[in-house]
A and B are shown apart, each in its own frame.
Chain A
Amino acid sequence: MRFFEYESRAVLAREKIPVADGGLARTPDEAADIAASVGGPVVLKSQVLTGGRMKAGGVKFADTPEEAREAAEAILALEINGHMPRGVLVGAKAPIAQEYYAGVIYDGIRKLPTFVFSDMGGIDIEEVAEQHPDHIGRGHFSTVLPHMDFRAKDVIASVGITGSDLNRLTPILSKLAALFVKYDMTLAEINPLAKLEDGTFMAVDAHMDMENEARPRQKELLEELGVADEETREAREPTEFEIEGERIDAVDHRGVAGNVTEFDGNLGLVIGAGGGSLTLFDAVQKHGGKPANYCEIGGNPSVSKACNLTKLVLSKPGVDKIAVMMSIVSNTRVDIVARGVIKACVELGYDPAEKIAIFRIPGAWEDEGFKILSKYGVEYCDRSVSMHEAARRAVEKVAA
């Protein structure tokens, strides 16, 4: 789950990492007030969960509260990559001597959290890594041993920093690592981390991601930041179709109908589980099919959950037929899914044999399932028909 910049700054401040004066404004008047209290020149930044805001015109400078009001008005009305801003961050424009980068991420291969530090801040760290690898320091730290500052110090010193800069930067990077752990972040970065003309350091921009799995145990921080439970903070806002999918999953604890995602095709998909859905969605596209949706059913869903999900997919405008497909199941019951999808067709007044292009779920209780399907004349197949072949047959029927 991604945080807005103003939230990331609040997390830094909470952990005693210095950040520039300022605050979030939701109206032009608020922006003018913050600029007046900061005193002096300010920078105004659009608060959106997407990149490229500088290029899009989402960052402006102002010397007076009146200029800040005008800049905020423009920024608040500006949509960036399909996102409207949550507000505008108004911050003191500090006189910067040099920009640094400080970050903490996971290394999935070493399976440890990793510091990333550079004396070339303010630009994309990937770019620095490619073009100036000698300006990047990295180092893992233990998740079992107590947290120690020397790990951060070693990383900073490795790019050639010494003197009072080293001693001032070490606690900042070390605290960033500590908060990364404390708040279950998967990314915590300060970029740029500015050295001011007086020799002190200050976070100018920050970016953090919290792991979704950890949200329940981070309730205190999330409440303090005002992040509501229903805010998914996905890469794109959920559609009505997707919200309804989540509701269907939530109202019945039996089994899973997860990750319901809308696409604009004509073949509805009732597919599962994690790996099976990825494989089947690819298979439909490979054979020229246009999926109307993605989903992941599994964990032995009830008849009603399978039925409600199928109804949702069938009711989506433009959906011609559905394909009900999974990899071999051992926990989910074939007969229960079969009942659910047939019930959905019948209750919506459709002929299951007509609406269900193919049913390919082999495995537990398949004989019972196949009996029900043949009674309704639905085309089904067992494991001898591959997932890709089943997808091909479904695509062919929709095209016909």
Chain B
Amino acid sequence: MSNMLIDESTTFIVQGITGREAVNLTRECLDYGSKIVGGVTPGRRGREVHGVPVYDSVAQLVEAEGSVPDGSVVTVPPTFTRDAVFEAIEAGIKLIVIVTERIPRYDVAQMVELAQLRGARIIGPNCLGIIRPGVAKMGGIGGPAKDAAKAYKPGIVGVMSRSGGMTTEISSTLSAAGLGVSTAVSIGGDAIIGSTYAELMPLFEADEQTQAIVIYTEPGGRMEAELAKWVTENDSRLPIVAFMAGRFMDAMPGMSFGHAGTIVEGKADTAAEKIARLSEAGITVAEEIAEIPALVQAKLGKEVAA
């Protein structure tokens, strides 16, 4: 599998494939050129979803296919997500995109801990997945293939976002400006997620196509501080531009907006504090989405000059 999470040869499965949203997601990914080798819904063995064979279990699928797929997109109800993710990890799958939202935090912590123990990576939960424009997508990110093609043009900027929808808005803006997107990752909006900005940075760092990073951030959590620390401690070649939404929340502590992890509980959670942390680390914080391409250009220009 590619260093940058997915490439044209990446094979994956969809757990919960017979659900309404999962059927759409399967269609979208196949149309985009992704290789979906099977799906799992307990009790539905023998069916097909857009030509993709359905099995009762991941183990059954692995046996029938004769190999362990590279990844799994998990889109089952919150009550069953932990079981499905454990099943995928124990079958040897190394990349798991969890689409499901409203999963209790303890379950998320368990899934993430098991993934760490087994050397697997989780993206999400509460995310839309990964897209490498023009190559493959894994998850509902960007929507139907023709819409995804419109918003995501191949290019040089890596995008990471706590909001699925804003991943597309930002990528569309970068694409319209001619910069394009190398890989975009919807990392998820929960308080605990499988892969944070700082944890994905080394992948972008190693990806030759990526020349700059844009992140979308929100109040709540310590993920931005972790990124600022990573940037300060590592001599990254990649300039970063950030956009911070939810600034109004600083005046409303204890109230949750946007995503499950988006809440101001302490000073470090506020937009103001995060903007300060990011700026100190040399990350430019954009005031508006529309400014982002010019800020990326300016940083790239400066990097080249230096």
- Chain A contact residues, CB within 8 Å of chain B: 106, 108-109, 111-113, 126, 142-144, 181, 184, 186, 211, 213-214, 217, 234-236, 259, 261, 272-279, 281-283, 285-286, 294, 296, 298, 326-331, 363-364, 383-384, 386-389
Contacts and interface: CB of A to CB of B under 8 A. Distances in A.
Contacts of A235: 252-255
Contacts of B78: 213
Nearest to B186: A275
Contact of A388 (B147, B189, B255, B290): B290
Contact of A144 (B117, B166, B176, B258): B117
B234 to A, nearest CB: 16
Interface in B239-253: 243, 245-249, 252-253
Nearest to A299: B21
A278 B109 contact: no
Given A109-B226, A274-B165, A213 B255 contact: no
Contacts of B169: 276, 279, 327-328, 383, 387
Contact of A211 (B105, B140, B248, B262): B105
Contacts of B147: 330, 363-364
Interface stretch (B11-19, B66-74, B217-225, B273-281): B217-225
Interface string B105-119: 110111011100100
Nearest to A327: B169
B260 interface: yes
B189 A274 contact: yes
B162 A330 contact: no
Contacts of A331: 140, 143
A231 to B, nearest CB: 16
B257 A294 contact: yes
B79 to A, nearest CB: 8
Contacts of B162: 275
Contacts of A286: 287
Contacts of A109: 196, 222-223, 226
28 contacts: A108-B192, A108-B223, A108-B261, A126-B266, A186-B105, A211-B105, A211-B106, A213-B78, A214-B104, A217-B104, A234-B254, A235-B255, A261-B257, A272-B165, A274-B258, A274-B262, A278-B245, A279-B169, A282-B248, A327-B166, A328-B169, A330-B140, A330-B143, A331-B140, A364-B144, A383-B172, A386-B173, A386-B290
A298 B290 CA distance: 23
B154 to A, nearest CB: 18
Interface in B197-228: 216, 218, 221-223, 226
A330 B255 contact: no
A321 B79 CA distance: 42
B112 A111 contact: yes
Contact of B143 (A217, A364, A384): A364
Contacts of B247: 282, 285
Contact of A276 (B140, B165, B262): B165
Interface in B134-185: 140, 142-144, 147-148, 151, 161-166, 168-169, 172-173, 176
A330 B104 contact: no
A281 B248 contact: yes
Contact of A112 (B113, B148, B164, B256): B113
Given A143-B106, A235-B253, A331-B143, A386 B288 contact: yes
